[in-house]
């Protein structure tokens, strides 16, 4: 059994065929899907999808790109929205300096609010980090010293030192379909060097469809290709990668106490 630890099933890409997308994931052995929030203004839809399917859970939060345009959220509001049994974490939040669609300081402020909510509620935070390794490292170190919190760096595309820091701080590192791309040498090396017990896998669907579906719409069933690439890089079996990454996911997302077996 596999888990897709990060996707966006609320995006218009799935408006026509969401039932089929979920069924294809189940048929591919994906036992659990995490539907990740990017805006509070669309959270209701994100949650409705999690409520509709037994094996889909969700998070609540504001993507760094969406900080500009969304009203700022407070720690108390985030924690309140996470009372629902299907809401299992916060995010995605973080820093994205590749496309500076929101001011860096606004991104940092929003990121710290999400971390505080994670610390206070005892739920994990899903962290997006792109071209922001130095600021990300200093915020993670500083916030962890204020009090522990759990979480993961998703769709990892940064340097080895940030990945190693995350692991030292007890965070998980999640890899997406981009590790299957031909030019993914450096990322592959990071997968090789990190311990399997700190890794998660995801699709980040509808983006970043893995080889052999690169360029097409991505969907949770395709997390299988990322798992296969991880097993090749770690020189181990698919069974071990599936078992360990699923176990890691359940250790981190403590509100999910079991994965429903759906025939
Ligand atoms: Zn992201
Ligand atoms: Zn995402």
Residue 255 C-alpha to ligand 1 middle, in angstroms? 22
Q: Which residues of the chain have pLDDT under 70?
A: 262-263
d(CA 59, CA 35): 7
DSSP secondary structure code for residue 63 in this structure: -
Residue-wise pLDDT tens digits, 31-48: 999 999 999 999 999 999
Q: Which residues contact 220 (CB under 8 A, 6 or more apart)?
A: 4, 7, 9, 21, 22, 24, 25, 28, 30, 33, 203, 205
Domains of the chain, each with CATH number or no CATH: 2-252 (3.20.20.140)
Residue 205 C-alpha to ligand 2 middle, in angstroms? 8
Q: 174 forms bridges with which residues in the sheet?
A: 200
Which residue do the tokens 């999640």 mark?
174
pLDDT of 263 reads 62
pLDDT of 100 reads 77
Q: Which ligand is nearest to the CA of 128?
A: 1
Residue 204 C-alpha to ligand 2 middle, in angstroms? 5
Residue 17 C-alpha to ligand 2 middle, in angstroms? 20
d(CA 4, CA 1): 10
pLDDT of 16 reads 97
Asked if 5 and 174 count as a contact pair (C-beta separation under 8 A), the reply is: yes
Q: pTM of the full predicted structure?
A: 0.97
Q: Which ligand is nearest to the CA of 39?
A: 2
Residue 94 C-alpha to ligand 1 middle, in angstroms? 8
Neighbours of ion ligand 1 (CB under 5 A): 92, 128
Q: 34 forms bridges with which residues in the sheet?
A: 57
User: Quick one: residue 94, left, alpha or beta (phi over 0 = left, psi -120 to 50 = alpha)?
Assistant: left
pLDDT of 119 reads 98
pLDDT of 201 reads 98
Q: Across the chain, what does the average pLDDT equal?
A: 96
How many beta carbons lie within 10 A of that of residue 124, not counting itself?
24
Residue 263 C-alpha to ligand 1 middle, in angstroms? 31
């Amino acid at each position: 059994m596999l888990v897709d630890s990060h996707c966006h099933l609320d995006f218009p890409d799935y408006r026509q065929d969401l039932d089929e997308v979920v069924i294809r994931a189940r048929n591919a052995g994906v036992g659990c899907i995490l539907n990740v929030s990017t805006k509070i203004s669309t959270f209701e839809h994100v949650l409705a999808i999690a409520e509709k399917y037994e094996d889909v859970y969700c998070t609540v939060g504001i993507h760094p790109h969406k900080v500009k345009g969304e009203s700022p959220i407070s720690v108390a509001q985030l924690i309140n929205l996470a009372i629902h049994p299907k809401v299992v974490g916060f995010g995605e939040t973080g820093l994205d300096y590749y496309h500076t669609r929101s001011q860096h300081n606004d991104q940092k402020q929003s990121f710290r609010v999400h971390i505080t909510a994670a610390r206070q509620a005892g739920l994990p935070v899903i962290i997006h980090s792109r071209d922001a390794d130095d600021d990300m490292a200093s915020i993670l170190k500083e916030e962890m010293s204020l009090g522990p919190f759990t979480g993961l760096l998703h769709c990892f595309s940064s340097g080895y030192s940030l990945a190693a820091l995350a692991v030292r701080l007890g965070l998980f590192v999640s890899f997406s379909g981009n590790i299957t791309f031909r030019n993914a040498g450096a990322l592959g090396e990071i997968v090789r060097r990190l311990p399997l017990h700190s890794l998660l896998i995801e699709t980040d669907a509808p983006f970043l469809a893995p080889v052999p579906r690169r360029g097409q719409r991505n969907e949770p069933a395709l997390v299988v290709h990322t798992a296969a690439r991880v097993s090749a890089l770690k020189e181990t079996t698919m069974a071990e990668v599936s078992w360990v990454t699923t176990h890691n996911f359940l250790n981190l997302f403590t509100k999910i106490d079991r994965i429903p077996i759906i025939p």
